[in-house]
Amino acid sequence: RLLADVVSRAWPLQLTLADGQQLWQLSLATLAMSILAAALAAGGGSLLSFLAARPFATERSQTWLSPLLRWASSSLLLLMRAIPAPIWALVFLFIFFPGMLPGALALAVYNLGILGRLMAEVTENQDERPLQAIKALGANRSAAILYGTVPAVTPRYLAYSLYRWENAIRETVVVGLVGAGGLGRELTQQLAAFNYRAVLALLLCVVLLTFVVDMVSTAVRRTTRAT
pLDDT given at position 100: 81
> Comparing C-alpha atoms, which of 90, 110, 114, 107 is closest to residue 172?
107
Q: What is the rounded CA–CA span in Å between residue 180 and residue 166?
A: 18
pLDDT given at position 167: 85
pLDDT given at position 178: 75
List all residues 6 or more positions away from 78 whose beta carbon is below 8 Å from its beta carbon: 113, 117
Q: What is the rounded CA–CA span in Å between residue 50 and residue 142?
A: 12
- 83-111 pLDDT tens trace: 888 888 888 888 887 778 888 888 899 99
> Comparing C-alpha atoms, which of 94, 87, 109, 112 is closest to residue 177?
87
For residue 208, how many other CB atoms are within 10 A of its CB? 12
pLDDT given at position 54: 67
pLDDT given at position 149: 74
pLDDT given at position 61: 47
pLDDT given at position 10: 65
Pick out the chain residues at pLDDT < 70. Answer: 5-6, 9-10, 13-20, 54-66, 127, 131, 139, 141-142, 179, 225-227
pLDDT given at position 58: 47
Q: What is the pLDDT of the chain when averaged over all its residues?
A: 78
> ∠ CA(171), CA(174), CA(180), 5° rounding?
100
Please check whether residue 78 is in contact with residue 113, taking contact to mean a CB–CB distance below 8 angstroms: yes
